[in-house]
Structure 1
């Protein structure tokens, strides 16, 4: 059972659960959970925004729009402490806390890998900076970046942003999982080393693609949103 959610794969997203989840798995009437939230709304707002969605749900009186609250980890933890500890509630509390912890741990691993990736990206940027000046030098950053992404994922940075639904100012790497970040960092380091050896873009592209074509002959490289 999935109790904790995120809106997207963005590294900066805040995990949440909902009043519907608390109701369903905590053995409570949804109306009672909503009333509890609204009673303590001022306290809940002290640890984050309290948001909701109006969701059409089938009821005895037909389809009605029901207010579903979204609660972050601190808000939901506070709320469940107010619930009576029946056997079902205790099991739900344990699983909810566990899933929030696991989500937080995964985000921490991604952030660590992201920091490492920034260091490798700086190495690649510095290698490009050392190249002789030319009218098209600024485009080399994009060309080498797209080389990395096309080699690993078969798509340019622009195409990947479209796939993830990322705005123009969004950072693609904030949406990669830790394994994808590690692969990108490794290839960027290899590209930087080849630039430092004096190879041009076409030579690097040929070497990289031949190497990864061999490695990935029986591996499907794809990213799922």
Structure 2
């Protein structure tokens, strides 16, 4: 199973949703939502019960927003204990545990990588400041190019799609590694006083 657990940024814990739990445990969504509402205080013992409101689907009755609950690992585990212990639920429990473990491991790695990259980012900033070919947009353009090459997305697209304020906090481990590699190349090229077109040309081929 893929896409069971989600993560936004470096300071938010991984979560799953009531929709995922309903689908993968073969339960009706309204049953799962009722369990959450009826045991709301129990879920809040394990953290804030987050949710998001989405617009109702076209053609659906009523115009009320659809509430989707975001459940952390403990909240999700608690919810599953309220479901019937069917073979499908048991299999889903194991898959969910594995996915939460994987995402927590990725989050830790991303946090470490981000901390390691910050001094390198400062090096790039300093290099651009003393770069004779720089203008007022050089650092921003450099960052945009690095992000685009590492992720295929612009900074704004990363923020919007991954629900974060800082685009660099939304990179996956693989994207972080790619970004760091490209950033090192950029630092070297700026240090050699290459023109922006030369820097851009090399990064586009890297």
Partner of 1:178: 173
Identify the residue that residue 219 of structure 1 maps to in structure 2: none
- Residue 104 of structure 1: SS of its match in structure 2? helix
Unmatched runs of 5 consecutive residues or more in structure 1: 217-225
Output the aligned Cα RMSD: 3.8
Tell me how far 1:174 sits from its aligned partner: 1.3
TM-score by length of 2: 0.70
Using a 3 Å threshold, how does the CA distance of structure 1 residues 50 and 194 change in structure 2: closer, same or farther?
Answer: same
User: 1: CA distance between counterparts of 2:45 and 2:78?
Assistant: 11
Tell me the equivalent position of 2:85: 85
TM-score, normalization: structure 1?
Answer: 0.66
Check 1:100–1:189 CA distance in 2 against 1; reply closer, same or farther (3 A cut).
same
Partner residue, 1:221: none
3-state SS of paired residue (2:156): helix
Is the CA contact 1:148–1:184 (under 8 Å) kept in the aligned structure 2?
no
Alignment match, 1:4: 4
Could you tell me which residue of structure 1 aligns to residue 202 of structure 2?
211
Give the match for residue 103 of structure 2: 103
Residue aligning to 1:33: 32
Structure 2 unpaired stretches of 5+: none
| Residue 72 of structure 2: aligned partner | 72
Which structure: larger Rg?
1
Query: For residues 179 and 90 of structure 1, what CA distance do their matches in structure 2 show?
Result: 32
Q: Is this contact kept in 1: 2:159–2:170, CA < 8 A?
A: no
Matched, 1:153 2:152: no
- 2: CA distance, partners of 1:17 / 1:36: 16
CA distance in 2, matches of 1:43, 1:89: 21
